[in-house]
Amino acid sequence: MGCSFVGGWYWGLAVLDVQNGAATATSAPETAGRETARARAEESRPGVPVRPYALLAGALGVLYFLYSWVQYERFRTPSWDLGIFEQSVRAYSELRAPIVDIKGPGFLILGDHFSPVTALLAPLYWIWSSPLALLLAQAALFAASAAVVGRTAQQVLGSRAAGLGLAVAYGLSWGLQEAVKSDFHEIAFAVPMLALTCRALLLGRWTAAVAWSAPLVLVKEDMGLTVAMVGAVLFLRGGRRLGAALAAFGVAAFALTVLVLIPAASRVGQYDYWAKIEKSSAGTDVPFTEVLLTSLGAGEKWEMLFFLVGITGFLALRSPLMLLVLPTLGWRFLSQDPNHWGMLWHYSAILMPVVFLALVDAVRAVRTSPRGWLVSYGKVVVPVVTAVSIVLALDLPLRDLLRPETYRTDTRTLEARKAVDAVPEGASVETNVTLMAHLTADHTVYWVGGAKGVTPDYLAFDLASGWSQPVADPVQLAASLHPEARYEVSFQAGHFVVLRRA
């Protein structure tokens, strides 16, 4: 039901966009006559059938959710983010402020990242109140974006083979697969929104492009700059007034969010993530510029960039849609946090719909190129990209679904389940990543070491994960975390231990 709620919402809006697109295409100024004429020619083609792309999206959604479900059930959660979003969405569903105790007792999450869009998932929690509901919603949103990419490719290029091929290549792309592996994040909403924005730009629907891109400012604070780039593309393609207005809106929204809204909600009165750049040389004798140049030379960043454009056969670089990737690439290149640099985690997911639809735009453009070799390359690049994406997928996360051991319940999983059961429902508990998302549904959960000023009823740890040095004595660890209280071991199995406040 959750899949139909979120995926159906986006799918329905996409269908309406297809049906009503001709009306908005005529809103472009006369300077965009050639773009508009081309869009009208594409509109006059026979309708692109929904069923093949709906079936493909359904298959991708099943794969995404199956991977997420197995990872969750086997206690392989890679970070604390699923627990954080679970606490915030649960608060929205209960009509409370999005307090996330994992980030600190009473922490208002809007003072960390500005992502009020996640409140849209509150009705899903009224149906299924579980972290798995978030993973299902993300799978549906990612899958819906694949249908948008595929149908757009078929409509623009006039080939069903091209549409289905690119939908498969996109759905199996490394950016989406790594995002699925990283559990749930707010960018799940941005992925289909960007796909629909790029679709509108390709079809000359300026008003639709604005309508799909403007709400991105509610997904995450940095997306305002991406919205500004959508305005820049509109401006370049002839929608000058609308483009300039959208660009101004995006920049203003970004400034308002990071300079006013987030500091107002933050305990420290500022946007903390400036420090990812500013403190890189703090406390050292190395000039900031030298540290920055060293960071820009990091191999992981250039490898990520190579694969980003390489999965399109590098042809996407010929499309102005590639301007949309610049804000995200910009802050990632400037960041001093290595987690932002490479191909892992979820940071590249929002770039996938842009680069694949930029490829569609470029293939259309090179058809009229005076260079014969470029015309020839444009004819073969789509099947080549599809084949390369399938080959690359053999070494990406979804490959695990083909391995029998992925589904086996090992001793570690059984021990983790018993540890979760050892914490009474409704109790407050301080824990680390492994058990966190499994406890947030019916406990007040704190991050280990982050429960300053409170004394949790229980401590529940995976002693084999996340510690700078081995933990020999859990009771001594508890005393160092909370010297004001005494804890005793109530359960221990393998590397999992639960301590109760005496």
Distances in Å between the Cα of 165 and the Cα atoms of 171, 317, 492 are: 10, 20, 51
pTM of the predicted model as reported, rounded to 2 decimal places: 0.88
Cα–Cα distance between 6 and 227 in angstroms, integer?
23
Residue 293's pLDDT is: 58
**Mean pLDDT per 10-residue interval, the chain, length 502 residues:** 44 42 39 50 64 96 98 94 96 96 95 95 95 97 98 96 96 97 96 98 96 97 97 94 97 96 91 72 53 65 91 94 96 86 92 97 94 93 94 93 93 96 96 95 94 93 88 92 94 95 92
Helices (H) and strands (E) in the chain, counts: 22, 5
Cα–Cα distance between 496 and 109 in angstroms, integer?
29
DSSP symbols for 155-180: HHH--HHHHHHHHHHHHT-HHHHHHH
Cα–Cα distance between 389 and 176 in angstroms, integer?
12
The runs of H, that is alpha helices, within 262-371 are 262-265, 275-278, 288-296, 299-310, 326-334, 352-366
Cα–Cα distance between 89 and 105 in angstroms, integer?
17
The closest of 293, 217, 203, 288 to 257, measured between CA atoms, is: 217
- The residues near 370 (Cβ < 8 Å, ≥ 6 apart) are none
Residue 366's pLDDT is: 94
The closest of 434, 332, 36, 427 to 203, measured between CA atoms, is: 36
- The residues near 23 (Cβ < 8 Å, ≥ 6 apart) are none
Residues in the chain: 502
Every domain of the chain and the residues it spans: 2-402, 411-501
Burial of 402 (0-12, 13-18, 19+ CB in 10 A): exposed
Contact present, 461 and 448 (Cβ < 8 Å): yes
Max CA separation in the chain (angstroms) = 81
Total Cβ atoms within 10 A of residue 106: 12
Residue 2's pLDDT is: 43
Q: Which two tokens stand for residue 294?
A: 């060293």
Rounded to the nearest 5 degrees, what angle is found at the Cα of 500, between the Cα atoms of 473 and 428?
120
